[in-house]
Structure 1
Amino acid sequence: MLSGLFPSKPTCLAFKVLFLTSLASSSAFALPRTLYDFSLKDGTGKTQSLSVYKDKPVVLIVNVASRCGYTDSNYRQLQVLQEKYGDDGLQVLAMPSNEFGGQEPGSDADILKFTKEKYAVTFPVFSKLLVNGPQASDLYKWLKAETPKDSSSSSADIRWNFTKFLLVNGLPVKRFAHNQAPNDFEGEILQALRDAASKEL
């Protein structure tokens, strides 16, 4: 007689499953979905929201190092690209990392001084971070997961310094290997800028 007044164990279990599913859905909804959802520490230790780059339709994110064989050519070419296309909507973002060969051993202040004095960079250089493994920056976990895969990015992990991610309107569209110089894909950057400009018309 009274059994119908109380929920059975299967009903309780179903309720728990429904609750956990709902919770998971709400959590997934809160995960970063574009570049603008992230915040990082800049080279001075101040937390900065990447939403400040919403007015830059094309962003190039690069994990950098000061003592790498690719350092000189990449910094010089990245700065040229920033000067050449910055007013058209390109923004280079440098992300120092000491993971590969210990080639970025200095402090954030050391890195800023190096990039300003040797290369006079005008693009932001952020605080050192990790790009691989469980302790990797959430930004890099997202970049590796969301960038469309192609022959140049068959491995999910970053392989070396100066791997580049090209983003358009806050979403990653292509990954370039460490041995692909910025000059090699300048045409793709220019096309991305043109496409972004045409959509604004």
Structure 2
Amino acid sequence: IAQETSFGLCHTQVRMLLLCHALAVAVVQTFIFSENWAFAKNINFYNVRPPLDPTPFPNSFKCFTCENAGDNYNCNRWAEDKWCPQNTQYCLTVHHFTSHGRSTFITKKCASRSECHFVGCHHSQDSEHTECRSCCEGMICNVELPTNHTNAVFAVMRAQRTSGSGAPSLYLPALAWALMLPLI
């Protein structure tokens, strides 16, 4: 009988230890998940770098993409990470918001030049909503939302200098000569 009592006591202690261990694991996991959630709100979308996977064609690019998202954060956070089709050159953002500035929905996508002709803001008198559209050129350039005529624009990068320019090659020898002259 004494052996049965000690076995019952030992079995109870093991069950309590297992219960305490499971509770401790649950508390730690809850802390980790809640901390990750808090940090997720602080994502810097300007620092997003696409993975170094092969591009499907020359001058390929990606845009933040979402359809009827409730806010800019969720649109950018859950945007699909896929290459834009070859018949597109720009990233389009369409922002609908109330007269108080609260976003009602946001759509971001890859766009052709013809889709970018109608940038700007348009106020709807009957629904008290405003729609602002902007287009930009470049890898995931559509981070921000257009909210007025200042930022609801068609932003195109300036032409880049070709590698055939001779100016930079003359600059380095002149700099080297200027640095060596005092040593002579």
What TM-score results when the alignment is normalised by the length of structure 1?
0.26
- Report the structure, 1 or 2, having the larger helix content: 1
Higher relative contact order (CA 8 A, sep 6+): 1
- Report the structure, 1 or 2, having the larger strand content: 2
